[in-house]
Chain A
Amino acid sequence: MLLDLLNKLVSARYPLRPPGAVKEDAFLQKCIRCRRCEEACPYDSIKMAHGDWGLKMGTPFIYPTAVPCYLCSDWPCINACPTGALEAVGEKENVKMGEAAIDETTCFAYNGIICRACYERCPIYTVAITLKEELYPVVHKEHCVGCGICEQVCPTDPKSIVVFSAHR
């Protein structure tokens, strides 16, 4: 796709989309940049991409270090979308915004400091993140929804658990 190529030229970054987002290239065509998901979000998790994102400007994304997605049970953002760029998901376990990845070189738990921040806050509790040997957090990618709560609560700087878009 030409659009995809242009996007790579302008910005190779893949932002974390709101829950229910269709695949990135289809998303860029379906989304009309109306901001209704942003305005509907009760936690102000959804932000708008600006001109520095090139052709992705005006599209919604989530920057979990600031505010992650709290996976509201009534999905106000998906209900607000008029175009089908965000599709109904049903249960929160069906969401696939992205996947978390742990950097074991900086993670407290892997470096001798007891820390369970990500494990305890994960909304897919004890499924998406489990503790290996009661100490080391492990992400199970097939269950991770990519909400980014783990990234926000991670106490290290830079973050040792980071969510990447599922559409990379």
Chain B
Amino acid sequence: MTRFELHFYKHLNRYRRLIQILSVLFIFIVPLLNKAGMHAIIGTFYSVSIGQLDIVDPALVLQNLLLTKEIHFPLLLAGIIPLVITLFFGKVFCSWICPFNLLAEFADKLRKKIRPKTIRAKNQNAKPQYYWLVFGSIISVAAVSGIPVITLTSMPGLISGQVADLIFYGAVGMELSIVLLILLLEVFFWPRFWCKYACPVGAVLALLRGKNTLAIQYDAHICANNCPVNLKKVSLCNAACPLQLNPRQKGIYPYCYNCGACIEACFNKGGKSIWFTFHPQETKTNKSGS
């Protein structure tokens, strides 16, 4: 492992927060520039155009195909950039860019403070079938009813749109209450359910997982032999995961969004048993793992 990688893994969260803050700045600065008469960059997290370059959320491209049943070529082209990024790096949009995830992470910190009993990390990962079942239902509702469900439930889009409204008119619409409702449900009932199970934007990105997509790799052998802390009491990577996944067990995908919190937790305690890789091997189930 190179020095650069070591440094990156040890400070992963700091880099991630930096990009998240830049993304929040982005959704404020774009409408401010538009208001000042500069239209070089326009758009929200539904769709952005930078000069002549069009970028559209792939989930919305899929929704448009389903709803209109016709192919609009510029729209397909606009979906390519996020598609390629996701094919290489996985759902990094969710963990590194999405403003809702940032809000939800802070809401989760609040949950851990006011409901300490819910902190206990889960040992087993949920079956991927649940994930696809939820996404399948959302897509079916959209296709049958003709209602653009993904648009209406895209948290990054709603948030960035409301920020634009705030800047243009000094007021926000009641759409923002959907975001607040989900955050409240996450704090008081089901921790992080939106990003983990429900979000259709993330689900379309999860569909794009290939064989060589960036993945979390865990090595039980290194973990058992070289770990400086006693893992029988607490598994650092498991406790660090914002989506309550256990990277020491199989099946973190399609849920995992490659935020790297587990890697940082491991490396900061001197461990080296979990890392990012483009050539993932199957995780061997660790019987003693918790």
Binary CB contact string for chain B from 23 to 42 against chain A (1 if under 8 A, 0 otherwise): 00000001100100101001
> Are the CB atoms of B47 and A82 closer together than 8 Å?
yes
Which B residues from 1 to 46 make CB contacts under 8 A with A? 30-31, 34, 37, 39, 42-44, 46
> Are the CB atoms of A28 and B157 closer together than 8 Å?
no
A selection of 29 A-B contacts at a CB cut-off of 8 Å is A2-B146, A2-B147, A25-B146, A28-B148, A29-B67, A29-B148, A30-B72, A32-B47, A33-B148, A33-B161, A34-B46, A34-B60, A34-B157, A36-B42, A39-B31, A39-B43, A39-B164, A42-B39, A44-B168, A48-B161, A48-B165, A50-B173, A50-B175, A55-B147, A55-B152, A57-B173, A80-B42, A82-B49, A84-B74
Given contacts A31-B148, A33-B148, 11 further A-B contacts (CB under 8 A): A3-B146, A6-B145, A30-B68, A32-B64, A33-B46, A50-B173, A50-B175, A51-B174, A51-B177, A57-B175, A83-B64
> Are the CB atoms of A32 and B74 closer together than 8 Å?
no
CA distance A29 to B70 in the complex (A): 11
Report if B56 contacts A (CB, 8 A): yes
> Are the CB atoms of B175 and A32 closer together than 8 Å?
no
Report if A116 contacts B (CB, 8 A): no
List the 5 shortest-distance A-B pairs measured between CB atoms, nearest first.
A50-B173, A51-B174, A34-B47, A34-B46, A3-B146
> Are the CB atoms of B146 and A35 closer together than 8 Å?
no
Report if B125 contacts A (CB, 8 A): no
A30-B68, A50-B174, A51-B175 in contact; A39/B30 too (CB < 8 A)? yes
CA distance A36 to B43 in the complex (A): 5
CA distance A6 to B57 in the complex (A): 26
Interface residue total, chain A, C-beta cutoff 8 A:
32
CA distance A32 to B148 in the complex (A): 8
Report if A1 contacts B (CB, 8 A): yes
Report if B179 contacts A (CB, 8 A): no
Chain A min CB distance to B44 (Å):
5
A-chain residues with CB within 8 Å of residue B37 when the two chains form the complex: 42
> Are the CB atoms of A83 and B161 closer together than 8 Å?
no
A-chain residues with CB within 8 Å of residue B168 when the two chains form the complex: 38, 44
CA distance A6 to B141 in the complex (A): 14
Report if A26 contacts B (CB, 8 A): yes
Binary CB contact string for chain A from 1 to 45 against chain B (1 if under 8 A, 0 otherwise): 111001000000000000000000110111111111011101010
A-chain residues with CB within 8 Å of residue B151 when the two chains form the complex: 32-33, 58
Binary CB contact string for chain B from 150 to 183 against chain A (1 if under 8 A, 0 otherwise): 0110000100010011001000011101000000
Chain B min CB distance to A101 (Å):
29
B-chain residues with CB within 8 Å of residue A42 when the two chains form the complex: 37, 39
Binary CB contact string for chain A from 49 to 85 against chain B (1 if under 8 A, 0 otherwise): 0111001011000000000000000001000101110
